């Protein structure tokens, strides 16, 4: 996963990610929550949980999606910049 930030996020803050459209295997309409567990610009590291529990969105034609996962990676550092990383979890 990757993205950009205008302000360094606070640990414990949550952000609704932009709605995911037509990515993955027939996936659309999901808007997961990205909850920051660690954000360390000094060492360029971040960690977060990702969750979604909603009646909107589809994965391979199935609705009522529930998603739980974790993600971690690197930041570009500084008060604004970019981040990249890897996420893993379950979707049902």
pLDDT of residue 92: 81
pLDDT of residue 9: 86
pLDDT of residue 42: 87
pLDDT tens per residue, the chain (92 residues)? 888 888 888 888 887 766 555 455 667 777 788 899 999 988 999 999 999 887 777 777 778 888 899 999 999 988 899 999 999 999 78
- CB of 82 within 8 A of CB of 75? yes
What 10-17 contacts at long range (C-beta under 8 Å, 24+ apart), as own/partner pairs, is 10/36, 10/39, 11/36, 11/37, 11/38, 11/39, 12/36, 17/50
Q: Which two tokens stand for residue 69?
A: 């996962």
């Amino acid at each position: 996963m990757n993205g950009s930030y205008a302000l360094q996020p606070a640990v414990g803050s949550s952000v609704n990610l932009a709605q995911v459209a037509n990515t993955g295997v027939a996936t659309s309409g999901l808007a997961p929550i990205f909850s920051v567990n660690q954000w360390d610009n000094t060492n360029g590291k971040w960690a977060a949980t990702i969750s979604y529990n909603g009646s909107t969105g589809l994965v391979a034609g199935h609705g009522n999606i529930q998603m739980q996962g974790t993600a971690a990676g690197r930041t570009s550092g500084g008060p604004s910049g970019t981040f990249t990383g890897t996420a893993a979890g379950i979707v049902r």
